[in-house]
Structure 1
């Protein structure tokens, strides 16, 4: 097959559902995918230009194509999942297996033992799980042990051996943790009923156990056996307390799996909740690293197939955030309101919490990966051609048109680079003209960077709407930088993002990290500019109070402030001290002004 040209291979691929495999020139497997129509899907790799770099590289490496035809798309899904786990191709999303997850085993024997295990033995025993947390398994086993007296020994409790009196009760019997089936003190029928109720509890159904205990408590109370009735009441409280912790909104929701997905530029996070009789009996979140141009629908479908296999799920209904084709026998519900919608939102919240927790860990363990992820997300959100590793933001400050100034703040890799911040006094603009001020300061900033051969930013952020953005663009045009540096404006009212020559603004999600960085830039530029403006106004106020004295000019004011440090001390100074500083004639005028 590898000697046949790709064009010929493509022409002979069937239109059936199936799984395709790409191989390189050394016959190493590169990628495995599934398709409803093999011919259309495989041909699409070679018929269009790919924006994503890794896909371009993959297509260049493909030397031969193999495929497996299957009856249905559902079969293709399962086969793809199994082949990916077997061959682990370089360009596929890789999923972990379930070898390390614990199960709860109900042993296939007379008077079954119940315990946790990480090994599945095909001997007819019932296994519940796997559980994603050992703590969950311990909690469930502690609950069962607190409610039902079960044996923990590994004796062969055959009918013949019990009747022959082969065994004696142990300490567990005397402690009340076991009813002594080894000596025939507990019947197989009673023990089996307990095991049936335990199976229902592990499925999330507490109703049968609660009903049985309430009936038993009523009988004991009627027979005036109050101590035994109190013991049963305590068991009921244990069950009800555990159930109340796990109950969701609607107890009528039964045997349903809920999946949600949260994704960014590099990773997707899929949360899974298993519901039974209104209770969440399992929760798991999976992180998937994107390899090619996988969208949310593809990644969610991949995760659903993997999780259903891993946890041996048999439910016939799924709650999902959007419609996807899973299998014809499974009902897909996209909740719009009510209890079902709240459950889906709970799943999404779990995915978001997991994602944030991973971000926090990565910040500590691998800060470069954290930065790369944020930069990649900004590139995608703001439609940039490159990652904005170097961003500069401009803001104007003036109050009632006085002392107009501007500020430029610089962020490198998403963090402030304070040593590169710059203040500007507006020189060419008279009065409160924000547009003119913006035009001047952007021109001055980048004219200087070009003259000094300093690196230019990948992104400029202008604090303001279309007007300020247009003014900044005029300066970039003068310098020949339009199109070489990306530039956006952010308006304060609705935090809308404006692009050059696009009248419709972009509204980023309020929780978006890209928007948070842009807001941080804007706020930092505003703070830096306001501080400079305030200092300038304070100095002007001081200067003007002294300069109003007839015959006192700027140089004299500087000399006075240099000697006395403040206007207050000048006012309080004696004639002798003032004379020492500025001479008798000027000292007389100053002293007379402040000592009338």
Structure 2
């Protein structure tokens, strides 16, 4: 491939709108930007010297530039946003989130189901949101169940009920599954719930009051009492959940966005108001390591573009910053009508903005304190391990979980950049180790994970190994890790975390297979209790990855840290998360295996018939509760096989 000639490239750049991509020598996208005039914008990077430290650092790595022409600046903005989301360029301002935003869904069935939903909304279902978090969705669902009594059960359960469930008995569901409510009345409840979610609560209450009075005039006092109870339920909810709003605001969807910058850190506080009801808020803390002097407007444009382009939008944005006209135009084009973007100076909206500002400032101060606490923990652990503080960033922790040898599962959790990184967690099904052999299971998972990484590094790929590997286990598990290290040629420090006396938190015993970094009795200077060397490893033939050899007992150390040790708190946090992640995966695998084995024990039930049964009846319990006639209505199940399945669970 011919070398990239920057001078020729800049001279031939067009003056039209478009998107540019700054690329490194290995074709990694470093930065994505948009421009109304590509020639002027891209040339400015290489002709000016007053760039921010973030851009200066990026320009040192640029090997070439690629462009894409668009018809307008607004179109360029949308393309820029899509590329940022898909490519995650290192030097763009990124607002990453572990999951898509949650929605509340009303399904498109004859008797619509109320459900929690994540993903891309699709017809014919109706979606309300997005909500800032799952708690906000579940809170709204609880309200709707209490007031409107809509079903929440899965379709497979709904289709096979022969009596009402507990939710009907406690007045959280009108039980359409057993005909306790007809289709017309249920549709009316669904419409009322929709009006509530759309902020038309006042109109809804007025209609219900008229219905109650009409029923009373018709001497239908039982029906009038039902309307009265429903009005009271909604009034209580409204009093607890609604912002005090007496204007037309309660008919609109409103988002409040405040950006706070302090000491080089940024917090974006997003609050969501739907129909006058504050449904939740969320704080975002973008990475500012490459931007020592962050500017509000830069982060405002990045947040609004990444948060709203291609997604549902509110009618009003209340903000403490200005947005470029091109972004406003792009948002309006997608929304189908003009979005009001306001910076209120008085009235109710100003109260909302001030409240969001206080929340943003508080969240930022707490985040900074928490970040400082994490730095202290990492620094303390680095001191114990004899590592420079600036060389300890990434820790990976492994745990093995099973139930008496059944459904063995290994977990790997990651701590990086002073926080747990759930998107980088991994689970491993243990395939070669014998049931119940924790040592062999640990050996297998370490070999699989780091064997692939060593192989990828040998092929020239960029691989990031952890700075320290944590093993949830004792001397045997640590010894297995050493064997893997020797086979793969690794030199990563290992810390074993063994359960303390009576498995009590704070009494964990830490294992350093290469000894303490200094001869002092306390590695932290805080009175740690050192137990000494492991004599059973004195003749271990495995060479030490750090070149110190394991032939001397003093190369192994086992000690406790005081209960108030920051390093111990960090290790406990990571170990507990590894254990949680392993045990939840193991339980899911175990339950799935038990369901599968229970059905596969029946002659004539293969994988397809098993899947058909589980789908039709919503799980193993549904299959067990089904009658012979119901079983025989499943695709692929004859009457004889249905009797065989029934007899398997109920006895002949």
User: 1:299 aligns to what?
Assistant: 299
2:43 and 2:65 mapped to 1: Cα distance?
A: 11
What is the CA-CA distance between 1:345 and the residue it aligns to? 1.8
> 1:19 and 1:250, CA in 2 relative to 1: closer, same or farther beyond 3 A?
farther
1:12 and 1:99 mapped to 2: Cα distance?
A: 42
Which one is further off, 206-215 or 134-143?
A: 206-215
User: 2:243 aligns to what?
Assistant: 247
RCO greater where, 1 or 2, for CA within 8 Å and sep 6 or more? 2
User: 1:82 aligns to what?
Assistant: 82
RMSD between superposed Cα atoms in Å? 3.2
User: Does structure 1 retain, via aligned residues, the 8 Å contact 2:267–2:284?
Assistant: yes
User: 2:328 aligns to what?
Assistant: 327
* CA deviation string 1:567-596 (max 9, x = no partner): xxxxxxxxxxxxxxxxxxxxxxxxxxxxxx
User: 1:197 aligns to what?
Assistant: 192
User: 2:356 aligns to what?
Assistant: 347
1:322 and 1:142 mapped to 2: Cα distance?
A: 35
> 1:147 and 1:17, CA in 2 relative to 1: closer, same or farther beyond 3 A?
same
> 1:260 and 1:177, CA in 2 relative to 1: closer, same or farther beyond 3 A?
closer
Of 247, 252, 273, 1:275 maps to 273
User: Does structure 2 retain, via aligned residues, the 8 Å contact 1:258–1:347?
Assistant: yes
2:54 and 2:321 mapped to 1: Cα distance?
A: 27
Q: Structure 1-normalised TM-score?
A: 0.55
* CA deviation string 1:410-441 (max 9, x = no partner): xxxxxxxxxxxxxxxxxxxxxxxxxxxxxxxx
1:223 and 1:230 mapped to 2: Cα distance?
A: 13
> 1:276 and 1:178, CA in 2 relative to 1: closer, same or farther beyond 3 A?
closer
* CA deviation string 1:16-37 (max 9, x = no partner): 2222111123332211112232
User: 2:255 aligns to what?
Assistant: 257
User: 2:65 aligns to what?
Assistant: 65
User: Does structure 2 retain, via aligned residues, the 8 Å contact 1:362–1:369?
Assistant: no
User: Does structure 2 retain, via aligned residues, the 8 Å contact 1:111–1:157?
Assistant: no
2:234 and 2:183 mapped to 1: Cα distance?
A: 24
> 1:114 and 1:228, CA in 2 relative to 1: closer, same or farther beyond 3 A?
same
What is the CA-CA distance between 1:228 and the residue it aligns to? 5.0
What is the CA-CA distance between 1:275 and the residue it aligns to? 3.1
> 1:52 and 1:305, CA in 2 relative to 1: closer, same or farther beyond 3 A?
closer
User: 1:95 aligns to what?
Assistant: 95
User: 2:214 aligns to what?
Assistant: 219
User: 1:15 aligns to what?
Assistant: 15
User: Does structure 2 retain, via aligned residues, the 8 Å contact 1:250–1:339?
Assistant: no
- Matched pairs, number: 363
What is the CA-CA distance between 1:185 and the residue it aligns to? 4.7
2:321 and 2:123 mapped to 1: Cα distance?
A: 40
Within 5 Å, which residues of 2 pair with 1:386-425? Answer: none
User: 1:575 aligns to what?
Assistant: none
What is the CA-CA distance between 1:208 and the residue it aligns to? 3.5
User: Is 1:209 aligned with 2:207?
Assistant: no
User: Does structure 1 retain, via aligned residues, the 8 Å contact 2:101–2:119?
Assistant: no
Of 275, 281, 284, 2:282 maps to 284
In structure 2, stretches of 5+ residues that fail to align are 333-338, 380-652
> Which structure has the larger Rg?
1
* CA deviation string 1:432-485 (max 9, x = no partner): xxxxxxxxxxxxxxxxxxxxxxxxxxxxxxxxxxxxxxxxxxxxxxxxxxxxxx
User: 1:402 aligns to what?
Assistant: none
What is the CA-CA distance between 1:195 and the residue it aligns to? 1.2
Aligned to 2:14, the other structure's residue is in SS state coil
> 1:133 and 1:275, CA in 2 relative to 1: closer, same or farther beyond 3 A?
closer
Aligned to 2:248, the other structure's residue is in SS state coil
User: 2:314 aligns to what?
Assistant: 315
* CA deviation string 1:26-69 (max 9, x = no partner): 33221111223222222222222236433322222222111112
User: Is 1:238 aligned with 2:237?
Assistant: no
Within 5 Å, which residues of 2 pair with 1:118-133? Answer: 118-120=118-120, 122=122, 124-133=124-133
User: Does structure 1 retain, via aligned residues, the 8 Å contact 2:253–2:275?
Assistant: yes
* CA deviation string 1:264-318 (max 9, x = no partner): 34332122233343333342322112334652112101101222248x3233442
User: Does structure 1 retain, via aligned residues, the 8 Å contact 2:259–2:266?
Assistant: yes
What is the CA-CA distance between 1:11 and the residue it aligns to? 1.9
Which one is further off, 86-95 or 295-304?
A: 86-95
1:155 and 1:303 mapped to 2: Cα distance?
A: 38
1:354 and 1:234 mapped to 2: Cα distance?
A: 40
2:116 and 2:320 mapped to 1: Cα distance?
A: 34
User: 1:5 aligns to what?
Assistant: 5
User: Does structure 2 retain, via aligned residues, the 8 Å contact 1:13–1:38?
Assistant: yes
Of 358, 362, 371, 1:362 maps to 371
User: Does structure 2 retain, via aligned residues, the 8 Å contact 1:248–1:280?
Assistant: no
> 1:74 and 1:256, CA in 2 relative to 1: closer, same or farther beyond 3 A?
farther
Within 5 Å, which residues of 2 pair with 1:46-57? Answer: 46-50=46-50, 52-57=52-57
* CA deviation string 1:199-238 (max 9, x = no partner): 2323343223322322232234445555654443343233
1:61 and 1:176 mapped to 2: Cα distance?
A: 64
1:355 and 1:324 mapped to 2: Cα distance?
A: 22
Runs of 4+ in structure 1 deviating by more than 6 angstroms, as ranges, are none
2:356 and 2:27 mapped to 1: Cα distance?
A: 42
Aligned to 2:96, the other structure's residue is in SS state coil
* CA deviation string 1:382-434 (max 9, x = no partner): xxxxxxxxxxxxxxxxxxxxxxxxxxxxxxxxxxxxxxxxxxxxxxxxxxxxx
User: Does structure 1 retain, via aligned residues, the 8 Å contact 2:128–2:197?
Assistant: yes
1:66 and 1:5 mapped to 2: Cα distance?
A: 12
What is the CA-CA distance between 1:263 and the residue it aligns to? 1.2
What is the CA-CA distance between 1:109 and the residue it aligns to? 0.8
1:205 and 1:2 mapped to 2: Cα distance?
A: 64
> 1:121 and 1:327, CA in 2 relative to 1: closer, same or farther beyond 3 A?
closer
1:212 and 1:271 mapped to 2: Cα distance?
A: 37
> 1:296 and 1:195, CA in 2 relative to 1: closer, same or farther beyond 3 A?
same
2:378 and 2:196 mapped to 1: Cα distance?
A: 43
